[in-house]
Chain A
Amino acid sequence: MPEALSSVVTMTAMTREVRSPWSEFWRKFKKQHIAMAALAFVVLLTLIAILAPYLAPFDPENFFDYDRLNEGSSLVHWLGVDSLGRDILSRIIWGARISLTAGFVSVAIGLVVGTALGLLAGYYEGWWDRIIMRLCDALFAFPGILLAIGIIAILGSGMANVVVAVAVFSIPTFARLVRGNTLMLKHLTYIEAARSIGASDWTIVMRHIFPGTISSVVVYFSMRIGTSIITAASLSFLGMGAQPPTPEWGAMLDAARSDMLVAPHVAIFPALAIFVTVLAFNLLGDGLRDALDPKIERG
């Protein structure tokens, strides 16, 4: 008899759809067509960035078509040629590599450091909390791009330093977000239960609190990438990031400024590239938020 009962139990468990958090998320996310399209675009763009050496028709820095300076779209140069005779499409394809790497790496650094600090501050409170939150306040006291400019003034211009600078101003936002979640989660019964059976602080934080913060961190991560790509491009536009002839989108726009009157297309395509990329990340972020955490603030 017990055997028959257990087989019945297995049967009902099998027939009911398994609802893991992941499948639940995917079920909700799949329904959002715009976010799905944005995800597809981000994947496509990542592939383009990885395969840039095989996809770009010309060398982005060292190929000069002197017969077609500032010429518009043609069969040879799909997006036209810039004032030095370089193929704009090739430069945009290579630029995708730089912008995506800059956006992703800088936010990833901010996420790792900020999450660690947030968990520390929220879980231990007391002095940890005071010191970490004061430091975050001080970082918040500088408007984002100004902080980045200050850091670049110290480290020198260049794309690697831009990544560091953007990472530094992503840290406090992640720290605050995770700290808030941690403070809320650590008073819940299941954390108390874990502590009462003698789980170590490390186990409680990593196995029980951290997973509870993931969904808001992921939403913030994707929203932040768009902002970071814009900031990195802005810094290059100001001449503090990628230096010419590097095909960075912001730097390309800066270079196109002097020829705006005769060749607006040189500026329009990199501007569109930034816009579409950032738009995709923002729409993806909106979709992730709606699927993961409908309560999180917009903005």
Chain B
Amino acid sequence: MLQYVIKRLLGLIPTLLIVAVLVFLFIHLLPGDPARLAAGPEATPETVDLVRQDLGLDRPMSEQFARFIVGTVHGDFGKSLRTKRPVSSEIADRFMPTFWLTVWSMVWAVIFGMAIGVVSAVWRNRWPDHLGMTLAVSGISFPAFALGMVLMQIFAVKLNWLPTVGADSWKHYILPSIALGAAVAAIMARFTRSSFIDILGEDFIRTARAKGLPEKSVIAKHALRNALTPVVTMMGLQFGFLLGGSIVVEKVFNWPGLGRLLIDAVDMRDYPVLQALVLLFSLEFILINLVVDVLYGWINPTIRYR
């Protein structure tokens, strides 16, 4: 097991390196001169040169890359061009709201998605299945931002049950996490259903039924446990989707999180923030995928030695 984890970690190195190079090249690919951007529109050519030296943009590329890697390892991404604060503290302020939003969306999406999937599989081709799958296909077809706007209009504006924007209390989390999690719940439902249907056709299920076990324990004990393996993988993949989706939902609900920081950074061409965020998001995504792979290897040892 440990060997497998180490092998997987080593396997990450080429991917991480490519990602680091891409993110590093990113500022050099951005249109316009980064020093000019940092100095501001009214700066004289002398000031721009000074800023260039200050940012180290006049050094050879190899040295810049080395500095970038060292800085990244130390968590130093420079200063935001917009607020002049260190990028790391900008990100630290915004991290938790996005983190909790993602986690809550995932939690309820998994619970509802799996429940719908199991119900649909057990009552296959009957009305609960049709209802569940109609909900699911609608869920993947409704864009998160549109769903967010509709939910806000109904529950916050018309009914006045929940707050509209901000992230001050647990009530603020309800609508955004529904908007963000709906698509994931839908995908989980479809996926659980098909994985459950495959399992219900297996021999050991027939054996369990044949020896007279009540249907409830066949489903809860024999089928559910075995159907979980692919569902866990799917869950990990969807985390990346949530990270991306949070960018859109945060705009709708004016959420003080990383997504909005990213949008502002793109608008303002605040490249140090942009660079750090792209790196952070992709790192999170890679780590989650690793955890899923390890979990998968732990649940199903046969794939470990491939």
Contacts and interface: CB of A to CB of B under 8 A. Distances in A.
Contacts of A257: 149, 252
Interface in A153-205: 153-154, 156
A71 B285 CA distance: 45
A271 interface: yes
B145 A237 contact: yes
Nearest to B249: A234
A134 B144 contact: no
B185 to A, nearest CB: 12
Contact of A264 (B22, B30, B153): B153
Interface residues of A, number: 43
B140 A282 contact: yes
Interface in A219-238: 226, 230, 233-234, 237-238
Given A134-B14, A153-B274, A299-B187, A238 B142 contact: no
Contacts of A297: 191, 194
Contacts of B263: 238-239
Contact of B251 (A143, A238, A271): A238
17 contacts: A137-B15, A141-B19, A142-B282, A143-B241, A145-B244, A154-B31, A156-B31, A234-B145, A238-B251, A260-B152, A260-B153, A275-B138, A279-B138, A282-B140, A297-B191, A299-B190, A299-B191
B244 A144 contact: yes
A150 interface: yes
B interface SS class: helix
Interface of A: 134-135, 137-138, 141-146, 149-150, 152-154, 156, 226, 230, 233-234, 237-240, 250, 253, 257, 260-261, 264, 267-268, 271, 274-275, 278-279, 282-283, 286, 297-299
Contacts of B248: 145, 234, 237-238
Contacts of A142: 19, 278, 281-282, 285
A67 B248 CA distance: 34
Interface string B124-138: 000000000000011
A233 B144 CA distance: 11
B241 A144 contact: yes
Contacts of B150: 268, 271
Contacts of B266: 149, 152-153, 240
A275 B278 CA distance: 29
A250 B266 CA distance: 18
A138 B243 contact: no
Contact of A275 (B19, B146, B267): B146
B149 A141 contact: no
B137 A279 contact: yes
Contacts of A150: 26, 274, 278
Interface size class of B (residues with CB under 8 A): 35 or more
B201 to A, nearest CB: 13
Contacts of B193: 298
A239 B153 contact: no
Contacts of A237: 143, 145, 248, 251
B103 interface: no
Given A275-B142, A278-B141, A299-B187, A149 B149 contact: no
Contacts of A268: 150
Interface in B252-306: 252, 262-263, 266-267, 269, 274, 278, 281-282, 285-286
B243 A143 contact: yes
A299 B234 contact: yes
Interface in B1-54: 14-15, 18-19, 22, 26, 29-31
A240 B274 CA distance: 15
Contact of B146 (A149, A153, A274): A274
A234 B150 CA distance: 15
Contacts of A134: 14-15, 18
A225 to B, nearest CB: 12
